[in-house]
Amino acid sequence: MTAYNPVIVLIVNILRVFLLKKVMDIFLQAEDIENKLLKTALGIYCLLITIVYSIFQVSAVYEICNCLGMVSLTCFYQDVWKKRLWVSLMLFSLDMAGSLIVLFIFGQLAEFQQPAIQALLLLICVTAISHISYPDNGKEMAFDRKQTLLLIVIPAMSVMILSVLMIGNLEKMFALLICTCTLVINISVFYLYNVLLENYIHLRENDTYKQQTYAYQNQLEVITESQNNIRALRHDMKNHILALQALVQKSETKEAEDYLNSMWHFMANPQEYVATGNDTIDSLLNYKIQKANDVLDLVETQISIPEQLNLHSFDLNVVLGNLLDNAIEASMQTEDKQLRMKLKLDKGILFLNIRNSCRGIAEGKQNILETTKPDKVNHGIGLKNVQKIVEKYHGDMELLCEDGFMETDIMMYVKNL
């Protein structure tokens, strides 16, 4: 067995660890990572692998330590365990395949040649992976059972096959062919992941457009009804004025006031809960409030925002749409079935408060709540999207559960136009 200079191996491993981290950053969410802790973990991993490699080279001991190290590194990222497992297995299978390919071609090379060639092969793989065009919001994707099985089984089977090759005594050319095919297949999984990701985003966008279509359709009906009422009132306006003049001349103030109230109620549209002048926001809120009124016992709203905001309508719709959907669904599962919402702009700060009845949630301040639905691909990312938009406007979001009610407070800094 060839002895390697630990210093040379360490230098090569620094490049290798950098490549591994680059792939982890592509697929795993790193917003809440403590950089010092992660850098410390990377350093420890690099040193341990260097020591094990210098002593055992490519062997079962080295590969076991390498696999455990990669799994441990992914634990520093904020993501579901299934996705962390997939990423660590994929990286390990690529690294292991590269090590065996170099071993089968060159054997145990002297000095730094073998680890250097392994790092070069890993660099080629990481470059290919990095050039796949992953959508910016791809890290939000969660796996369902079928996708988990499809994506995790391939690297897991690859590791098993490569382990057999390393322990067994197969002919070198045949073993080399299997290792190469395994490497290519695992790189192809990243393309498969990209296809699944694009399909997931496409379905989510379609659902968003569907919601917007329903909202706009509802708003069109509201506007049409209001216009019909105004038209009918205008048609009889002459008669109304004559009737009011007669009441005023007779000093019948109470009757005149009742008459005006009747005209006001005639013009009012019970489906128009919000009329800020911002068509996009009005359509969404009218649609959601109407939906809430259909299924809840108590719905109260206080809306006070100008027609124009220095805030993208899409962003506000994501915040309002997700929070109201969650609040309505949670309230439906309670006996009280209550929902209250306040939205106002004051001195360049947008305040949103949603209070709804709920059950099955621990008392006190809450973090981003995970969905309880089995389909985590299409559910459970709403609050994360809300949090990102709140952070985009340098705001803050707080969730508090108390006495059977969930209260969501959001503050965003928005300058008036």
Cβ distance 345 to 416 under 8 Å? Answer: yes
Report pLDDT for 356.
Answer: 93
Q: Residues 199-227: what's their mean pLDDT?
A: 61
Does the structure show a pLDDT above 90 at 353? Answer: yes
Dihedral (C-alpha) 250, 253, 255, 261: value to the nearest 10 degrees?
140
* Spatial separation of the C-alpha atoms in residues 271 and 289, rounded to whole Å: 9
pLDDT digits (tens, 9 = 90+) for 100-121: 888 888 765 545 577 778 888 8
Report pLDDT for 352.
Answer: 92
Q: Residues 321-348: what's their mean pLDDT?
A: 89
Identify the top-confidence range among 37-41, 196-200, 272-276: 37-41
pLDDT digits (tens, 9 = 90+) for 72-104: 888 888 777 788 888 899 899 988 888 888 888
Q: Residues 169-182: what's their mean pLDDT?
A: 84
Report pLDDT for 129.
Answer: 84
% pLDDT > 70, the chain: 72
Q: Give the domains, in start order, of the chain with CATH numbers.
A: 6-206 (no CATH), 273-417 (3.30.565.10)
Cβ distance 386 to 318 under 8 Å? Answer: yes
**Cα atoms in the Cβ-side hemisphere of radius 13 Å centred on 311:** 27
Band of pLDDT at residue 222, cut at 50, 70 and 90:
low
Strand order in the sheet with 338-346: 298-304, 338-346, 349-357, 405-413, 396-402, 364-366
Q: Which of 249, 270, 352 is nearest to 304 (CA)?
A: 352
Cβ distance 218 to 290 under 8 Å? Answer: yes
The 3-state DSSP class for residue 410 equals strand
Q: What is the mean pLDDT of the chain?
A: 77
Q: Which of 157, 66, 53 is nearest to 115 (CA)?
A: 53
Does the structure show a pLDDT above 70 at 264? Answer: no
Count of C-beta atoms within a 10 Å radius of residue 382: 18
Q: Residues 340-364: what's their mean pLDDT?
A: 87
Report pLDDT for 378.
Answer: 38
Long-range contacts: 212-221, Cβ < 8 Å, 24+? 212/284, 212/317, 214/287, 215/283, 215/284, 215/286, 215/287, 215/288, 216/283, 218/271, 218/283, 218/286, 218/287, 218/290, 219/279, 219/282, 219/283, 219/286, 219/287, 221/271
